[in-house]
Structure 1
Amino acid sequence: MLTLTPTAAQAIRDLTATAPEPQQSGVRISSKSENAGSLTLTLANAPEPMDAVVETEGARVYLDPVAATLLDDKALDAGADDQGGVSFLVTDKPA
């Protein structure tokens, strides 16, 4: 299952703090198509019915079935981009 770094968990908590339903809000990672060529990350008020849910330190990530399979052995990290916005990065889990 995907893991979250402490930095990613904080970034997600910051992003969802002002959401209409902060107790259920999170980010959703989904595939753009069945071939899983690319993934998108969006804010979500709640998971979709088939989503896997990853929760770490109060931060929630919802994964559609394709994304859950692709990211099973990965970690989600976060950092700031050049303009001060949040950027997320998928990495291999530390050994």
Structure 2
Amino acid sequence: MLTLTSGAVQVIRTVTANPEMPPETGIRIESGIDGSDALRLSVAPAPEAGDQVVEAEGARVYLEQTVAQLLDDKTLDAQVDSQGDVAFTIAEGTEHPEA
């Protein structure tokens, strides 16, 4: 199952902490539209049918079925740069930098 770093948990909780959104709001990762290896990440109010749900410390990630298989043994990390832009990265296994 996908593992979330503490940095990813913090960023996801910040991004989804809008009081106007449902409490189940999370980040959804799905396959790219054009069939490439790129993944699409978006804020989702709830999981879609068939999504795998990964939750850590109140941060929710919804994974499309094919993406869940692809990321099964990976780690999701996130960082915010000095301009406030968020960058998510996926690393092999559970070896990851602690934020």
TM-score of the superposed pair, with normalisation by structure 2: 0.86
Partner of 2:86: 86
The answer to whether the Cα contact below 8 Å between 1:36 and 1:66 also exists between their aligned partners in 2 is: no
1:17 matched residue in structure 2: 17
Unpaired segments ≥5 residues, structure 2: none
- 1:81 to partner: Cα distance: 3.2
Amino acid at match of 2:58: G
Q: How many residues align?
A: 94
Larger deviation, residues 38-47 vs 25-34:
25-34
What pairs with 1:1-95 in structure 2 (closer than 5 Å)? Answer: 1-18=1-18, 19-21=20-22, 23-33=23-33, 37-81=37-81, 83-92=83-92, 93-94=94-95
Of 34-43 and 74-83, more deviation after overlay is shown by 34-43
Secondary structure at the aligned position of 2:48 is classed as: coil
CA RMSD of aligned residues (A): 1.8
Identity %: 49
User: 1:47-81 CA distances to partner (integer Å, 9 max, x unpaired)?
Assistant: 00110000000000000011101100100001123
Residue type of the partner of 2:69? T
Gaps (5+ residues) in structure 1?
none
Task: Summarize the Cα distance change of 1:50–1:36 in structure 2 as closer, same or farther, 3 Å threshold.
Answer: farther
Point out the more displaced range, 48-57 or 81-90: 81-90
Partners of 1:36 and 1:7 in 2: CA distance: 27
